Amino acid sequence: MSQTVLVTGASSGIGQATAQLLAERGHRVFGTTRKPGAAQASGFTMVGLDVRSDDSVRGCVDQVLSQAGRLDVLVNNAGYTLMGAAEETSVAEAKAQFETNFFGVVRMVNAVLPVMRKAGAGKIVNIGSLAGITAIPFGGFYTASKFAIEGYSEALWHELRPLGISVSVIEPGFVHTAIGDATQVAESTLQAYDPVRTRATSALGRQVKGGIPPEAVAKTVLRAIESRTPSLRYRVGTDAAWFPRLKQVMPWPLFAVGVRRTFDV
């Protein structure tokens, strides 16, 4: 059955691939961007949204409701990476990371829940990350924002289950998108971290380049929203399937060697 879906951050990467695939599958899709004039939307309606703003979130949800008259699925995908050693990152930069990656999700969920509760149905799909299970060195606050998504989504799952609303977290490993182009880097740098930060940042870029296509994540989102009983967690990619299992069973020093190799630190 066709569902009305809102996908945040649909101007590129995972969000764009998801919006396109769901539209191809016959769902009524609204995607979002902060620059509606500039972004391409094929098969879906593009709406302006900045998840950092309460007014923008309200305006976006109102627009979808006035055009479609309903909202069945919310896919929280908008996000960016902040790189830099934890010590180099200012509290303002760390807060900004959370404002988009975590509180952006919270704002969207709070905006759609009254509609979903009234309908006694709905699906919330949060794009988490393998970084919500195992850390990216020099991406401490990105990692923290994705760990936060995990805990929040799990609590929400319990709270919304009796109301007929499902919550899922999609946990992709590295995905080949242009996420690196929008990466923010901590402004103040400390010389002590220079060589290793440079290596870690380049390694992350290489890993993303060698990652799975965003369409693979889109297919998983489709599977979640077309399921009668969506799972809480979906892992996408070989790395996302294996790293969490290895982290559980391997002694930490051994697992850490693998992480250090992955990020060249």
Ligand X SMILES: NC(=O)c1ccc[n+]([C@@H]2O[C@H](COP(=O)([O-])OP(=O)(O)OC[C@H]3O[C@@H](n4cnc5c(N)ncnc54)[C@H](OP(=O)(O)O)[C@@H]3O)[C@@H](O)[C@H]2O)c1
Q: Check if the beta carbon of residue 37 is closer than 8 Å to that of residue 202.
A: no
**Residue number with the shortest CB distance to ligand X?**
13
Residue with Cβ nearer ligand X (161 or 185): 185
Q: In the bound complex, what is the minimum distance in angstroms from residue 14's beta carbon to ligand X? A: 4
Both tokens of 39, joined, read 């972004």
Residues that bind ligand X (CB under 6 A): 8-15, 33-35, 39, 49-52, 77-80, 100, 127, 129, 172, 174-175, 177-179, 182, 208, 211, 214
Residue 111: which of 54, 149, 169, 153 has the closest Cα? 54
Residue with Cβ nearer ligand X (49 or 144): 49
Q: Check if the beta carbon of residue 65 is closer than 8 Å to that of residue 86.
A: no
Exactly one of 80, 142, 152, 234 is catalytic; name it. Answer: 142
Q: 28-33 and 4-7 as β-strands: parallel, antiparallel, unpaired?
A: parallel
CA distances from 104 to 101, 111, 208, 261 (A): 6, 11, 23, 32
CA distances from 206 to 127, 203, 263 (A): 21, 5, 9
Residue with Cβ nearer ligand X (178 or 257): 178
Q: In the bound complex, what is the minimum distance in angstroms from residue 101's beta carbon to ligand X? A: 6
Q: In sequence order, what are the beta bridge partners of 32?
A: 47
Q: In the bound complex, what is the minimum distance in angstroms from residue 50's beta carbon to ligand X? A: 4
Is there a catalytic annotation at residue 80? no
Q: Tell me 25's DSSP state.
A: T
Residue with Cβ nearer ligand X (50 or 72): 50
Active site residues: 142
